[in-house]
Amino acid sequence: MVSLKPERLKRYKDVAMLLVKYGRSDLVKQAGLADELDLDDSENLANLPEAKELATDLERLGPTFIKLGQLLSTRADLLPGPYLEALARLQDQIEPFSYEEVDRIVSSELGVRISKAFGQFDREPLAAARVPVARVPNLTRALETFQKAGFFVLGLDMDGDVELPGLALATEPVVVVVGSEGKGLSRLVRETCDQVVSIPMSSAVESLNAGVAAGVTLYEIARQRAAAR
């Protein structure tokens, strides 16, 4: 039985209706949602929606479901061809949402208006569906803004002040800064960081590229946060 929180009822119903629409009302019933959400589970399995509708429905439900659709588009062992083709659109052809929505989300998360947090913020979307991107004209000032909003800034460098497994700030709100390939963190950015973190490596490995270092760090932060719950 799912524990229903009143503030999430609409979300639960959206997910349940998606399952019913695509012929899986049995999952809704097993979760105990059918009666709680007063769903009409009368479905016609012979007239299921077209594959492209699933991509549209997942896009409408938001980023988490878009990611689910992206994953499913690679699973030929789970879905037939038409669904794989339809869901592939979610890899790089997502409709952008309005700047007003971006403004609301960023301002809510940082606790300050976008105009105060960033010297420049493009109103036109720049990123693909997978990776939200914001450009700042001055990284040091942007990091100082995050610090004022209550975030700790962590820089990654092989000559760090603390090793990653002993990172006490992992459970706090953090911003992780990854230096450029070869040059690492600039002097001003390093001085702005609350801590500079290194990843312990065996003597056989000289260094990690920026993408791998970021992935290892984010995994360790997620692991420590899960252990602290």
Tens of pLDDT along the chain (229 residues) come to 455 566 666 777 777 777 777 766 666 667 666 665 555 555 544 566 777 888 888 888 887 788 888 888 888 887 788 888 888 888 878 777 788 888 887 788 777 788 777 777 777 766 555 555 677 888 999 999 999 989 999 999 888 888 888 788 999 999 999 988 778 899 999 999 999 998 887 666 666 788 888 888 998 898 888 888 7
**Which H or E run includes 181?**
none
**CA 15 to CA 13: how far, in whole Å?**
5
The radius of gyration of the chain from alpha carbons, rounded to an integer in Å, stands at 22
Q: Where in the chain is the domain with CATH 3.40.1280.10?
A: 138-228
**Per the structure block, which two tokens stand in for 67?**
């990611």
CA distances in angstroms from 229 to 168, 171, 184, 224, listed in the order given: 15, 10, 33, 9
> pLDDT averaged over the chain?
79
pLDDT tens digits, residue range 11-31? Answer: 777 777 777 777 666 666 676
CATH class of 138-228: alpha beta
The pLDDT of residue 81: 85
DSSP H helical segments within 73-153, as ranges?
A: 81-87, 99-110, 114-117, 139-148
**What is residue 179's DSSP assignment?**
P
Q: What percent of the chain has pLDDT over 70?
A: 78
**Per the structure block, which two tokens stand in for 207?**
């260094």
The amino acid sitting at 38 is D
DSSP H helical segments within 111-180, as ranges?
A: 114-117, 139-148
